[in-house]
Amino acid sequence: MYPLQPFIQAKRRLSRRNSRYECQFRANGSDEYSTDCAFNDLDLAMSFVSLVVRFSSQVEAGKVFDGKTRQVVFICHTPVVESQTHQAREAPAEYAQLAMTGFDSITQKATSKRKKKVNETLARLRQLHDELNAQLYTHPTERPSIHSPSDAAGILEYFIGGLDHEELWVINLDTRNRVMQLVQLYKGSVNSSQVRIAEVFRQAIVDNAPAIIVAHNHPSGEPSPSPDDVAVTKAILQAGKMLDIELLDHLVISTGGKYVSLKERGLGFS
């Protein structure tokens, strides 16, 4: 169960009155949508609706309504999880990502404009990431819990699943496996020669976190772990034992909700 309150407080710093794009949500068991907030930027509105639908157990569906054209321009629903596969999770944010990046690659001007738009949207998502961490710190009882690799992947896929470059993130957990903080650690290739193990545990030590989960993305869309991924996992696991901070898992996340748990495959944890 993921609480809606941290996102509500975070978006109130970004939304504006009388904005064009209204974020509307339908509660579980209800047939009606209600407007929660509005943005002047369509990309930000779609990103926010996708995140709220994913993290809130009280919301069944969300949509973005264009107040100027009086039309619905984006809809997403609660992800459906099927059994016996790690690839069944829906990732509605991927549709928002397509809208963010655009489709016109004919001219260099269009490509440059699209790239600028993506960078602006990613910057806003980073701002939401910072806001979320602040809410996790000030409202510990509302922290989402991690009980399985799919729980962790479900949180991080919206931040790193659709990136065109690799990033390494760390989830710091408390004694009840509740998220204390999301730490963006590295940008670029993740390999055993680049990753400084001390940096992986730095914030966990500050937070006095008893456990962590490490995750990074594969922009290629193929989440199979590489030999470097396994080597990094082994190094982090050994360092964690000396620091008395448990490495619960290392996830490789890619597009479309796909991920691999190195612990489930016995890679680096033996």
Which of the pair, 145 or 125, is modelled with greater confidence?
A: 145
Mean pLDDT of 58-66: 89
Question: Are 216 and 119 in a shared domain?
Answer: no
Mean pLDDT of 60-69: 90
Q: Are residues 99 and 191 in the same domain?
A: no
pLDDT above 80 (res 130): no
Kindly state the average pLDDT of the residues 61-73: 90
Q: Is 33's pLDDT higher than 50?
A: yes
Q: Flag whether pLDDT at 270 surpasses 90.
A: no
Say if residue 85 is in the same domain as residue 158.
no
Please indicate, yes or no, whether residues 191 and 254 belong to a single structural domain of this protein. yes
> Out of 6-20, 88-102, 118-132, 140-154, which region has the weakest mean confidence (pLDDT)?
88-102
At 248, is the pLDDT very low, low, confident or very high (cuts 50, 70, 90)? very high
3-class DSSP state for residue 86? coil
If asked whether residues 39 and 116 sit together in one domain, one would say yes
Confidence class of residue 47 from pLDDT cuts 50, 70 and 90? confident
Q: For residues 94 and 79, give the distance between their C-alpha atoms in angstroms, rounded to a whole number.
A: 12
41 shares its domain with 111: yes
Q: How many CA atoms lie within 13 A of 61 on its CB side?
A: 11
**What is the mean predicted confidence (pLDDT) over 13-42?**
81
d(CA 109, CA 90): 33
By residue count, the chain amounts to 270
Both 121 and 187 in one domain: the answer is no
Work out the number of other CB atoms within 10 angstroms of the CB of residue 1. Answer: 8
Q: How many domains is the chain built from? A: 2
Average pLDDT, the chain: 78
Q: 104 and 213, same structural domain?
A: no
What is the rounded CA–CA span in Å between residue 88 and residue 73? 25
Q: Are residues 32 and 120 in the same domain?
A: yes
Instruction: Report yes or no: 170 and 204 within 8 Å, Cβ to Cβ.
Output: yes
Domain that holds residue 204: 145-261
| Global pTM exceeds 0.75 | no
160 in the same domain as 117: no
Which 3 state secondary structure label does DSSP give 106? coil
Are 97 and 152 in the same domain?
Answer: no
In this predicted structure, the answer to whether residue 255 has a pLDDT above a threshold of 50 is yes
Handedness of CA 116, 155, 92, 49 (dihedral sign): negative
Q: Is 184 a domain residue?
A: yes
As a whole-number percent, the residues of the chain with pLDDT over 70 amount to: 68
CA-based radius of gyration for the chain: 19
Residue among 188, 259, 270 nearest 233 (CA): 270
Question: How many angstroms separate the CA atoms of 36 and 50, rounded?
Answer: 14
In this structure, is the dihedral angle defined by the CA atoms of residues 249, 254, 257 and 260, taken in order, positive or negative? negative
Does 135 reside within a domain?
no
